[in-house]
Structure 1
Amino acid sequence: MTLSNTERAIIESAIRDIKDFPKPGIVFKDITTLLNNGKAFGVTMNHLYEKYKEYNLDYIAGIDARGFIFGAALAQMLGVGFVPIRKKGKLPYTTISEKYSLEYGFDEVEIHLDAFSAIPNARVLLVDDLIATGGTAAASVKLINQAGALCVEACFILCLSFLDGYKKLQELTEVYSLVEVK
């Protein structure tokens, strides 16, 4: 399922570009303006619902922090559970974690060990606002699978395709994005 030209225009026009953030030369894609635009947020969520309603999902997993917004809303619409994937040290129960490379070092995400234990071989959709280099998303897919579930697809509102992160992620799962930034 693809966005109509009208839907794409509504979503794209609601995303603000902020030049030189977080550092010079970067154009930050600010989705807070999409979130506070009821029409654009509604178009986004309705599209995701229509796309995923027949996937027989058991859970939506959202990446800290903006993936929580889209993921939790979609989970509620689909009537499935939501599982947060957090930065290391933010979850209160027993966790498993996965490290991933950054430009200068490493970071780590984690998930509760029992996040998917209620449903054996749970089918999970991973959701985040944006895919850039793909490190966080790839680590998240690995965590979902380590926790005994199957990540059936990773979904993003924006794909910065010029950074090729989606290509790395396609080695692990299917990838879908609403808007591509070339």
Structure 2
Amino acid sequence: MTAVDETMNAINDAVILGRQGNPAAARERLTALWESIGAGGDPLHRVSLAHYLADLQEHAADGLTWDIRALDACAALTDERAQAMHAGLNVRGFYPSLHLNLADNYRRLGAFDTAREHLDAARARLADLAEDGYGLGVRAGIDNVEAALAINSTERLSTHP
């Protein structure tokens, strides 16, 4: 039986709070958790926290900061640690989404060439995703960001908040 991970439970609770319409409270909770675990804490916690904090930011530059932290933390994450949380996880499967999020933030900031580089990096790693809801969502996100890039749009996408 897997041990209860109180930090992941707290992260999930904050994410639910944000999805229920209280992003400010979710941001506050996740920021407090980040401060408690620190930049050198458990890589799975850091990836998860930074990933969700990025999604809760009002401005693309702030989201970019958190997405870069998530990507950096992922480099320290091992499959063994990820699978301790859920047997089906592998670190390679995190990268398409992380690069997609970076691409979207760079696009929103008008850094279209850098956005395209991250979209290419996301696409290059799609083989690491299953054809499940998560994988299909990432693939759809790539298509949506690519369409926005084609018209040099910097607007927030409703499909990729």
TM-score (norm 2): 0.36
Pick the structure with more helix per residue.
Answer: 2
TM-score (ref. length: structure 1): 0.33
